[in-house]
Amino acid sequence: MLAESKITNWIKGHVRGEYVNLKTGERIPAFEHSNVTTYGAADIMARILGGEQAYVPKHMGFIYGASASPSNPPMIEPPTDRVQTWSSLGDELADVVGNVLISPLSAGPGYAVDGNSDYYTGNSVTLTAQTGSRLEYGFTPGGLFAPELQDGDYIWHALLLTRLVSGSTITYLPFARVTLKDTSYPQKLAGFELALYWAVTYF
């Protein structure tokens, strides 16, 4: 059996963010960070290899709230725990009055070589989403969770998500999670949306 350190080195991811004015096209670079890939990602990849296309991650979640410095211990930066479930996320966000804005991918995937081109022809895929393409909120806005995203709110983390639908039941499976913090968390700026470019590379 391969050691876990070897297995987790087969995949890596990083996220680049920028503010985009959808009316003028103005773009402001914001940050770039590496993500943590969840244990659930292994389950997702196995399902995809088995032909279950519903498990392909096609959404991103923007984790946000009104606080510039959420104080709950699970928000310690950066997130490194590979145990990431929707239930544990709900508990975490209820403690800090946060929520998740969920957006579908807003462009087709882009492929590139990350590493030796003698071995790879397109081992890295980049997925894109932005806050202005909101589909829904992960948790009912208000009460325990943050109200709908507003200008001035802080966007703390992001998730790459699989979204499963069975009748009226929607289930989200986190594939990866990333902090958006440099010296501070980015804010939702008036007139701009936050766009993420999420690259996942396989070795």
Separation of alpha carbons 84 and 43, rounded Å: 13
Q: Which residue is listed with tokens 């958006």?
A: 180
Dist CA 143 CA 147 (whole Å): 8
Residue 38: the pLDDT is 92
Query: Is 43 a residue whose pLDDT tops 80?
Result: yes
Q: What is the pLDDT of residues 176-200, one digit of tens each?
A: 999 999 889 999 999 999 999 999 9
Cα 129–chain centre separation:
9
The b/e string for 150-188 (b: 16+ C-beta within 10 A; e otherwise) is eeebbbbbbbbbbbeeeeeeeebbbbbbbbbbeeebbbb
Look at residue 194 and give its three-state secondary structure: strand
Structure tokens at 21: 């004015």
The whole-number average pLDDT for the span 109-113 is 95
pLDDT at residue 122 tops 90: yes
- So what's the pLDDT on residue 10? 81
Q: What is the pLDDT of residues 73-93, one digit of tens each?
A: 555 566 778 888 999 999 989
pLDDT digits (tens, 9 = 90+) for 152-172: 999 999 999 999 999 999 999
In this structure, the strands spanning 27-34 and 11-20 are antiparallel
Q: Tell which residue, 73, 117, 68, 115, has the closest CA to residue 92.
A: 73
User: Pick from 61, 97, 41: which is nearest to 194 by CA?
Assistant: 61
Cβ-Cβ contacts under 8 Å for 1 (sequence gap 6 or more): none
pLDDT of residue 78: 64
Nearest to 161 by CA among 169, 171, 146: 171
pLDDT of residue 70: 84
Q: What is the pLDDT of residue 71?
A: 73
The pLDDT score that the predictor gives to residue 82 is 87
State the burial class of residue 192 (Cβ atoms within 10 Å of its Cβ: 0-12, 13-18, 19+).
Answer: buried
- Report the alpha-carbon distance of residue 133 to residue 101 in Å, rounded: 9
Q: Does 26 score more than 90 pLDDT?
A: yes
Which sequence spans correspond to the domains of the chain? 12-202
The answer to whether the pTM exceeds 0.85 is yes
Report the side by side order of strands in the sheet with 110-112: 27-34, 11-20, 193-202, 124-130, 110-112
